Amino acid sequence: MRRWGTPLAAIVLAGAGLAVTAGTAEAAQASGAGTAAAGTAAACATGWGSGEKTAPSGSHKPLENIRTGQHECFDRMVFDVKGATAADEVRFDARYVDVLHQDGSGDLIPVNGGAILEIRVGAPSYDYETGTSTYPGKARQQLPGVNVNGYKTFRDTRYGASFEGDTQIGLGVRARLPFRVFQSDGHVIVDVAHSWTAAR
């Protein structure tokens, strides 16, 4: 079941550029989930929107880990892609959905929260050459080692599947809030804002 859009690369780059405008301290911490933003920006960025974010092409290096963290203006999820560098593009697709269906089987996966952000990253949870598992996610289960209790925006995480070279995640959030997706040195970073306003 493929639902990749075909937006121009310029749109993707523009979305990544928003990461810089939100604060250089946050951009510098992109590869770390962190527990607090180091920036002293006067207000939080609000221009991300809640529409689909995609990068339609990239490598198929395996997924190694998924981490989360809390920042001053947003909650963050980081996908660590094994062996990927700053020169490697990693495909992604992130969008709000009414319900989450597992890739391949189509099975419904319940996700807690006021809204569901479905995220696909072009990094399978296994090594293509050896078939060895590189990430221990289990279908319909919460992400291993991830606890979002007490987060301002995140409410739940669910592993969907690793199917046709993509890893599918369901991220339950408090409401349909602005989000951004960008890449930094072998990582795919998803930030979901705490609110629609500039106030923290």
For the chain, the average pLDDT equals 82
CA atoms in the 13 A half-sphere facing the CB of 104: 10
Give the predicted TM-score (pTM) of the model: 0.79
Q: What is the pLDDT of residues 48-72, one digit of tens each?
A: 999 999 988 777 789 999 999 999 9
Architecture label for domain 9-30+50-193: Sandwich (2.60)
Long-range contacts from 25-30, C-beta under 8 angstroms, 24+ separation: 26/71, 26/73, 27/184, 30/78, 30/182, 30/184, 30/185, 30/187, 30/189
Q: Do 170 and 157 meet the contact criterion of CB atoms below 8 Å apart?
A: yes
What distance in Å separates the CA atoms of residue 161 and residue 107, rounded to the nearest whole number?
11
DSSP the chain: --------HHHHHHHHHHHHHT-HHHHHTTTS--SS-----SS------SS-EEE---B-PPEEEEEEEE-SSEEEEEEEETT--TT--B-EEEEEESSEE-TTT--EE---SSEEEEEEES--SB-TTT--BSS---TTSPPTT---TT-SSEEEEEEEEEETTEEEEEEEESSS--EEEEEETTEEEEEEES-SSS--
> Distance (Å, rounded) from C-alpha 54 to C-alpha 119?
10
Q: Is the pLDDT of residue 24 over 90?
A: no
Q: In 10 A of CB 101, how many CB atoms?
A: 17
Question: In the chain, where are the structural domains located?
Answer: 9-30+50-193
Q: Mean of the pLDDT values across residues 68-86?
A: 92
Distance CA 162, CA 32 (A): 23
Alpha-carbon radius of gyration of the chain? 16
Per-residue pLDDT, averaged over 104-130, amounts to 93
pLDDT at 37: 42
